[in-house]
Amino acid sequence: AQSVTQLGSHVSVSEGALVLLRCNYSSSVPPYLFWYVQYPNQGLQLLLKYTTGATLVKGINGFEAEFKKSETSFHLTKPSAHMSDAAEYFCAVLSGGYNKLIFGAGTRLAVHP
């Protein structure tokens, strides 16, 4: 069965610093992986996705993630944090005959001046 583990429920960075949010997956089939962002009082929005092809995936708002099969990881990065990046981030893997999305527990990102 597919599953996702996000390391660190809270991450705090300074404005302008590198953002690194960690995600490891478990999957018995080639994984389809997603990162979502949730701002306060809103639903989740898609940041980026990996299905096949290039392992470095670029998303919205300057975020990117790299699929590393050998490490079963799909970490999310952004070179320079902005105050507006403060939100909760969820990693997810497609499961259940490729129709059900399994989410990690989420990582809350705080950005301070």
In the complex, minimum distance from the CB of residue 92 to other proteins, in angstroms, rounded to a whole number:
8
We find the least distance from the C-beta atom of residue 57 to other proteins, in angstroms, to be: 12
Q: Cα 104 from chain centroid?
A: 9
Nearest alpha-carbon partner for 34 in 54, 10, 55, 51: 51
Binding mask 61-100 for other proteins (x = CB under 8 A): -----------------------------x-x-x-x-xxx
- Residue keyed to tokens 């080639």: 30
Shortest separation between residue 71's beta carbon and other proteins, angstroms: 22
Residue 48's nearest CA partner among 60, 32, 62 is: 60
* Binders in 17-46 for other proteins, by CB under 8 A: 32, 34, 36, 41-46
Q: Does 51 bind other proteins (CB under 8 A)?
A: yes
Cβ neighbour number for residue 83 with a 10 Å cutoff: 10
Residue with tokens 């005959």: 97
Structure tokens at 46: 């898609």
Chain residues that interact with other proteins, rule: CB under 8 A:
32, 34, 36, 41-46, 49, 51, 90, 92, 94, 96, 98-103, 105-106
